[in-house]
A and B are shown apart, each in its own frame.
Chain A
Amino acid sequence: MQNAFGEPQQVLLLGGTSDIGLAIVRAFDKSTLRRVVLACRDIAKGEVQAAALRDRCDVDVVEFHGEATDGHQAFVDAIDGDIDVAIVAFAELGDAAVSSADAVAAAHLCVIDFAAAVSATVAVGNRMRAQGHGAIVVLSSVAGERVREANPVYGGAKAGLDGFAQGYGDLVAADGVHVMVVRPGFVHSQMTNGMKPAPFATTPVEVAKIVVAGLANRRRIVWAPKVLRPVFSALRHVPGPLWRRLPLQ
């Protein structure tokens, strides 16, 4: 059960080696947290992260493959005890030049970043609707807010996920489930390693702080950093010809 501050006792991190996901786990109150389940593609990498978390709580590392959507429900149902918070954090950025030129690569990115994330959210959502409480943190991206030519497949998949999560959140709210969409900007992490930081770049720790506060406040959408909300509400309305000339691409 979560306490009055929205602090969970059991957390499921889908994408168990995600920098942002792990930072969120670390941002939760240590004395409340009892168990974390790291769902990872690569067990060995997951174990490395688990070892670093074990001073806080029990950690289980379980093999999980995003694209294997057939198994998502069974995977979630096999977890013991109430899942208080689930974080849908797995994603691939891919090589934009490849994914926007290769049909197979494009479809693969859509499966991981959209279809699998939707499937996992629904699987967790079913579990939480039955238990009558819980929160799902869906990691979207500002890349989906207005999709840029620099990375249309990733941006498009995130746009789809973002839209789904909002509608789904409204659907399951009556069942006591809180879905929170997180829209980070550029985050310094493994995923963006070697890339040139965009304006308002942030860190996983900063994103995690915003997520934890958002959960306590039962916010439906949070931006990280917060300034991206006004920035993107302006960018969303920039006329196309000007948008395409902006140095964001």
Chain B
Amino acid sequence: MARRLLTGWGRTQPAVADVVDVLDHRGAAAAVTSAGDRGALARGLGRSYGDAAQNSGGLVVRLAASASDVVVDVERAVATVPGAESIDALLRLLVPLGFFVPVTPGTRFVTIGAAIASDIHGKNHHVDGSFGSHVKSLDLLLADGSTVTVGPEQSPQLFWATVGGMGLTGIVLSATIRLIPIETSKMSVDTDRVPDLDSLLALMTEGDDDYRYSVAWIDLLAKGRHLGRSVLTRGDHACRGQFKEREDPLTYGPRQLVTVPALIPPSGVLSHPAVAAFNELWYRKAPSHRVQEEQSIATFFHPLDGIGSWNRLYGARGMVQYQFVVPMDRDDVLRQVVQLVSARRVATFLAILKRFGPGNQAPLSFPMPGWTLTLDVSSAVPGLSSLFAELDSLVLDAGGRHYFAKDACLGPLAAKRGYPRLAEWQATRQAADPHGRWQSDLARRLQLLG
């Protein structure tokens, strides 16, 4: 056990916790039952942006993962995976066997436990839903040190409270998940350069359902008639024989190309002119319309994973990622947000728009049918806090909400308004953990535990 200063991926809210590395469920149970009054929390790979994987003054449990513990049922296309296993390791195992994970976020450095706890979504949400919808069952370590198996059929209440429950119901020791069969490790990608936001929304509304994966990058620095100009990429796993095959069609070996050094100026390197130049280049280099381009899994799904520690580019102050969803018929709010951010000249290096499909039963699951916009901004940008407060009201008034895995800014009221089933979740959680052993800084900040 070691006292360590932890932050999220955004590097904004450092806090100290006792970090304990455990090998198995017995070690985790021993750690959790010994936790003091600031409780315990599991931490995976630290990719949530804010304080979701922090438990200041308390215990932070990290489970060891071993890829040899993954069991793949090729017949049924399911796998039983340790909670601490990463999507990275899992893909290295699954892709050569002809399978893909049901959902992957923009990084493959996420554990299966975290994928469930955040109920992560990916570019296929409009077709396949979020991660929790593909879990058949999971083994959960409870606050009293015992283990229970839950699933959509078995103890569904606790199962759905764990999906999207931000680790506050227990530790996911292992999970059985459905897999997507694939023929090749290549992606077939269609790209469209879109001149403005209205055209983008129209294009996505009309055509998204023809693709398994769809996402748009928006240049939030563009103004006037270029407001919301974007690059839309959509695709699916390539079929056998679709592209010229030089090697085994299921070869998969993503590499990290470079790592950002620790010595970056405190203010970061993503200044307004730098971001503006990047956005211009990114937009211009995209083809106006291209179909069936061959791309690797890493290029299509995890482009930023090619650059190690890219979060350092934002300097010592770190960055915040702001992600919200508004219902499908409230694209007016989406427009307002894009206008506001563009008008304030806030340098957003990455702005991603995705059209969600239906949500699932989990009370704290983020996705709902609608538009989700994600922006990365340096937290040193002046006036950002008040800009976000403005955006918060727009989003919440429209019946939208924010994604806990990204959040570093909200208060308790925003959580309550965005998640009207919070009280129901709290009751299930309370029954599973009456002494409040599972705690996190996110839970403290948003008063999630009630």
| Residues of chain A whose beta carbon lies under 8 Å from any beta carbon of chain B | 1-5, 7, 9, 29, 31-32, 34, 82, 129-133, 174-176, 216-218
Q: A4-B320, A5-B379 are in contact. Are A174 and B16 (CB under 8 A)?
A: yes
Contact A1 B13 (CB under 8 A): yes
Q: A4-B12, A133-B13 are in contact. Are A31 and B384 (CB under 8 A)?
A: no
* B385, CB-defined interface residue at 8 Å: yes
Contact A176 B379 (CB under 8 A): no
Contact B5 A4 (CB under 8 A): no
* B50, CB-defined interface residue at 8 Å: yes
Contact B13 A4 (CB under 8 A): yes
A216 to B58, CA, bound (A): 24
Interface size class of B (residues with CB under 8 A): 20 to 34
- Encoded as 1 (CB less than 8 Å from any A CB) or 0, chain B from 10 to 38 comes to 10111111000000000000000000001
Q: A31-B389, A176-B14, A176-B15 are in contact. Are A5 and B57 (CB under 8 A)?
A: no
5 A-B residue contacts at CB 8 Å?
A3-B410, A4-B408, A9-B411, A131-B38, A132-B17
* B317, CB-defined interface residue at 8 Å: yes
Known pairs A29-B386, A129-B16, A176-B16. 7 more at Cβ < 8 A?
A4-B10, A4-B12, A31-B389, A131-B57, A174-B3, A176-B14, A216-B317
Contact A131 B379 (CB under 8 A): no
Contact A9 B57 (CB under 8 A): no
Query: What is the distance, in angstroms, from A78's C-beta to the closest C-beta of chain B?
Result: 16
Contact B445 A3 (CB under 8 A): yes
A130 to B38, CA, bound (A): 9
Contact B317 A32 (CB under 8 A): no
* B92, CB-defined interface residue at 8 Å: no
Contact A2 B16 (CB under 8 A): no
| Residues of chain B whose beta carbon lies under 8 Å from any beta carbon of chain A | 3, 5, 10, 12-17, 38, 50-51, 56-58, 316-318, 320, 379-380, 384-386, 389, 408-412, 441, 444-445
Query: What is the distance, in angstroms, from B251's C-beta to the closest C-beta of chain A?
Result: 41
Contact B318 A176 (CB under 8 A): no
Contact A176 B56 (CB under 8 A): yes
A1 to B57, CA, bound (A): 12
A133 to B51, CA, bound (A): 12
Prevailing SS type, chain B contact patch: loop
Q: Which B residue sits closest to A2, measured CB to CB?
A: B13
Query: What is the distance, in angstroms, from B396's C-beta to the closest C-beta of chain A?
Result: 12
A234 to B445, CA, bound (A): 44
Q: Which A residue sits closest to B393, measured CB to CB?
A: A31
Query: What is the distance, in angstroms, from B130's C-beta to the closest C-beta of chain A?
Result: 25
Query: What is the distance, in angstroms, from B278's C-beta to the closest C-beta of chain A?
Result: 23
Contact A7 B385 (CB under 8 A): yes
A5 to B444, CA, bound (A): 16
Contact A5 B15 (CB under 8 A): no
Q: A2-B13, A176-B56 are in contact. Are A82 and B409 (CB under 8 A)?
A: no
Query: What is the distance, in angstroms, from B60's C-beta to the closest C-beta of chain A?
Result: 10
Contact B16 A1 (CB under 8 A): no
A130 to B444, CA, bound (A): 15
**Interface-central residue, B14, B385, B441, by most chain A CB under 10 Å:** B385
A4 to B54, CA, bound (A): 13
A7 to B411, CA, bound (A): 11
- Please pick, from A5, A7, A176, the residue contacting B5 in the complex, using a CB distance under 8 A: A176
Q: Which A residue sits closest to B384, measured CB to CB?
A: A5
Q: Which A residue sits closest to B16, measured CB to CB?
A: A176
Query: What is the distance, in angstroms, from B69's C-beta to the closest C-beta of chain A?
Result: 32
A residues less than 8 Å from B444 (CB atoms): 1, 82
- Please pick, from B3, B320, B408, the residue contacting A175 in the complex, using a CB distance under 8 A: B3
Contact A5 B16 (CB under 8 A): no
- Please pick, from A4, A176, A217, the residue contacting B50 in the complex, using a CB distance under 8 A: A4
- Please pick, from A2, A31, A133, the residue contacting B57 in the complex, using a CB distance under 8 A: A133
Contact B441 A4 (CB under 8 A): no
- Please pick, from A4, A7, A131, the residue contacting B56 in the complex, using a CB distance under 8 A: A131
A residues less than 8 Å from B389 (CB atoms): 29, 31
A28 to B243, CA, bound (A): 58
A9 to B58, CA, bound (A): 19
B residues less than 8 Å from A3 (CB atoms): 13, 385, 408-411, 445
A213 to B380, CA, bound (A): 10
Q: Which A residue sits closest to B319, measured CB to CB?
A: A4
Query: What is the distance, in angstroms, from A172's C-beta to the closest C-beta of chain B?
Result: 10
Contact B15 A9 (CB under 8 A): no
A170 to B392, CA, bound (A): 37
Q: Which A residue sits closest to B446, measured CB to CB?
A: A1
B residues less than 8 Å from A218 (CB atoms): 316
Q: Which A residue sits closest to B379, measured CB to CB?
A: A4
